Amino acid sequence: MGIGLEIPVFGGTAASKAVELGASRIELNAKGSYSDGGLTPSLEDLERVAQLPVPVRIMIRPRGPPSEKDMRDFVYSDEEFGQMEADIQKFKETGLLNEGRGDGFVFGILKEDSQRNDKCWVDEDRCWVDMDRCVRLVEAARPFKVVFHRAFDEIVSCDDDGSDIDARYAWETGLNHLAICGFDAILTSGGIGHAVNNVVMLDKIITKAETRGIEIIVGGGIRKHNAREISQRLNLNEKEQSTFVHSACLSNTEMEDVDADEIANILSQLR
């Protein structure tokens, strides 16, 4: 089915350039938020990308990682969650989103909640999808697409204790929870770190996700020097459904401007 290149942009200015250079989808983030992993953009940013010919996915993330090292990211207060709901509604009310184009929202909420099911035991160090809140955001976002971002990698890695990868279950539990919530896609590197180091787990995730009708967007350190390796090791060109890889393609992380050479080389590697 082929491989598409999704490029996260930071502010609306870089989006048109990214599309001209070959991006087949845009993830829209706030200007200056690359170092935070991408934050909710402004209405003005959306106005700048409203006429693009490719799908636009809006990041809904009220803040970057917490400053306290012992606190897990993507766990939000009631106030922060309320802001996420309000932001989705605000973007929808502009009338600038295009369902037919494939526009949508990107978000993820976790909870640190001890639980037990048929595959796992109680463990306070683990994290899971906050299903109640995610369902509310999915419902708020409809009829537009919804993507669960790399908060999923926290779940994948929470039972990575060095044991046999086939004995790990958190990734499958998390994927099933996201299917129940109604997510259309998951952005993941197959665990904490770069995708190229998590290929075995990524392959398992992609295979399972196909049975649930969920698109996997492969991201995390994908650059021109490793795009071909990732594509070949995951057999992305041979998948029954289209696959996307996700790369910022930045020439300078401070300037947040996409690099034409990086985009051209990644596209060449993916072909």
d(C-alpha 192, C-alpha 180), whole Å: 24
Mean pLDDT along residues 228-248: 89
- In 75-116, DSSP assigns E strands to 104-107, 110-111
Residues contacting residue 231 through CB under 8 Å, at least 6 positions apart = 3, 237, 245, 269, 270
Confirm whether pTM is higher than 0.75. yes
143 prior amide bond cis, ω within 30: yes
Kindly report the average pLDDT of the chain as a whole number: 92
β-strand partners of 57: 27, 104
What percent of the chain clears pLDDT 90, i.e. is strictly above it?
A: 82
Separation of alpha carbons 50 and 64, rounded Å: 26
Which residues are registered as beta bridge partners of 147? Answer: 106, 185
Q: Which pLDDT does position 195 carry in this prediction?
A: 96
**pLDDT(115) > 80:** no
- What's the pLDDT tens digit per position in 43-92? 999 999 999 999 999 999 999 998 877 678 999 999 999 999 999 999 99
Question: What DSSP designation does 191 have?
Answer: S
Three-state DSSP class for 6?
strand
User: Residue 105 is which amino acid?
Assistant: F
Secondary structure tally for the chain: helices H, strands E: 9, 12
Q: What is the pLDDT of residue 163?
A: 74
Report the alpha-carbon distance of residue 84 to residue 64 in Å, rounded: 13
Domains and CATH numbers, the chain: 3-270 (3.20.20.380)
Query: Maximum Cα–Cα distance for the chain, whole Å?
Result: 50
Q: Is the pLDDT at 151 greater than 80, yes or no?
A: yes
Token reading at 221: 């350190």
Cα gap 122→73, rounded to integer Å: 21
Tens of pLDDT, residue by residue over 170-214, are 999 999 999 999 999 999 999 999 999 999 999 999 999 999 999
CA distance 130 to 144: 20
Would the pLDDT of 242 be above 80? no
Q: Is the pLDDT confidence value at 225 over 90? A: yes
pLDDT digits (tens, 9 = 90+) for 27-54: 999 999 999 999 999 999 999 999 999 9
